[in-house]
Amino acid sequence: MPATTPTTVPPLISGGIMLTYHCTNTCRHCLYRCSSRHEKHFMSEALIDATMGALAKEPTLHGIHMAGGEATLNYKRLIYAIRSARRAGISIDYLETNASWCADKQTARDGFTRLREAGLRAVLISVSLFHNEFIPLAKTKTGIRAAVDVFGSQGVVVWTPEVLQQMDAHLDEHRTHSLEESCESLGLDLRQGDVWKMHNYLTPGGRAAERLVDGLLTRPAESFQGDACGRVLENTTHFHIDPFGNLYTGRCPGISVADVGDLHPTISTTKHPVYCQLAEGGPVWLWRGLAPDFVPNPKGYVSKCHLCLDVRKHLRANGQYEELRPDEYYRE
Ligand code: SF4
Ligand code: SF4
């Protein structure tokens, strides 16, 4: 193995516990490819406890956030997870929610109060044109107001306020809008990639790389040659653990060399060929090394992560790579 290949996963710093891949939405920008079409599978109580137990042993862990899919779809399990983290002495930074359940202020307030009583201290409420294809803005605003009542303004993060402001000014809050419709109301050109400028935090991977590439500059697959991913894959400041216990590092869902049973396995080219190829040379090495029969899209790719996902899908369709998991992530 070349000397630069990491030998194990570095200590974990901060990350999300994905209680499910199931969601009320199937947002076009979802990096984790969550969907309303996925099974309503939630992390089991036993796995939650095992996860918290494993995280409690991490010497550099700052905190975690609770996430999905939409974690509130199983309130009982979410509350279990909050309590389990507290039992294990793990700090929960916030719960991420899309506020789809905030039909009226009382419902929202009751829901947030139950979570606060379980030990939650903050929430992050997502708002975007992508979410608005499924959730009317009125629910989002109801959720924000109720969350401020329960957690205080310091305990509520709106992701993002700038987007909320623009949507509030131009969209009917009582109904959903297709992305095409909202773009028209906001004077955005979807075909020119304007939604990327409005939501400037988007990552060009996952479903965004598949569904939102119009108007973005593309490059031939070969041009990503030499763009290695070792540093990203070693980054544990925004890790995720999925409902099956798989660990993702970097911002690389669908690639997992570790799980809750062993968060720091020895990484080797024989056992983890995909990870090692990516760490050493990026997606072009992955293609050349493990998928020489892969035919890149002649239209090109908006990012190396876009190419990476395409090569990985090809690998999964043609071979057995334990690291490319779980099925949910790769399912259409
Ligand atoms: S971005 Fe959030 S709300 Fe949208 S599909 Fe993904 S998990 Fe669900
Ligand atoms: S190209 Fe693949 S491995 Fe590299 S950062 Fe993107 S998703 Fe992660």
Q: Provide the domain limits for residue 95.
A: 14-202
Specify the amino acid at residue 140: T
109 is a domain residue: yes
Residue 280 lies in a domain: no
Mutate to test the pocket of ligand 2, among 225, 240, 278 (most ligand atoms within 8 A of CB): 278
Within a domain: residue 50?
yes
Alpha carbons 309 and 291: distance in angstroms, whole number: 13
Q: What is the pLDDT of residues 131-170, one digit of tens each?
A: 999 999 999 999 999 999 999 999 999 999 999 999 999 9
For tokens 């979802």, the residue is 30
Pocket test for ligand 2, best of 32, 233, 240 (most atoms within 8 A of CB): 233
**pLDDT tens per residue across span 23-69:** 999 999 999 999 999 999 999 999 999 999 999 999 999 999 999 99
Based on the structure, what is the number of domains in the chain? 1
Handedness of CA 312, 316, 317, 318 (dihedral sign): positive
Q: Is the CB of 25 under 6 A from ligand 1?
A: yes
> In terms of pTM, does the model score above 0.85?
yes
Q: Whose CA is nearest to atom 4 of ligand 1?
A: 27
Judge whether 28 lies within some domain. yes
What residue owns the CA closest to ligand 1's atom 1? Answer: 30
Ligand 1 pocket check for 167: Cβ under 6 Å:
no
Contacts within 8 Å (CB) and 24+ apart, 309-316 = 309/205, 309/206, 309/209, 309/210, 309/254, 311/283, 311/286, 311/287, 312/254, 312/255, 312/274, 312/286, 315/274, 315/286, 315/290, 315/291
- The Cα–Cα gap between 244 and 200 comes to 31
Could you tell me if residue 119 is inside a domain?
yes
229 pLDDT exceeds 60?
yes
Query: In degrees to the nearest 10, what's the CA dihedral of 112, 118, 121, 122?
Result: -40
Starting from the CA of residue 33, give the closest ligand.
Answer: 1
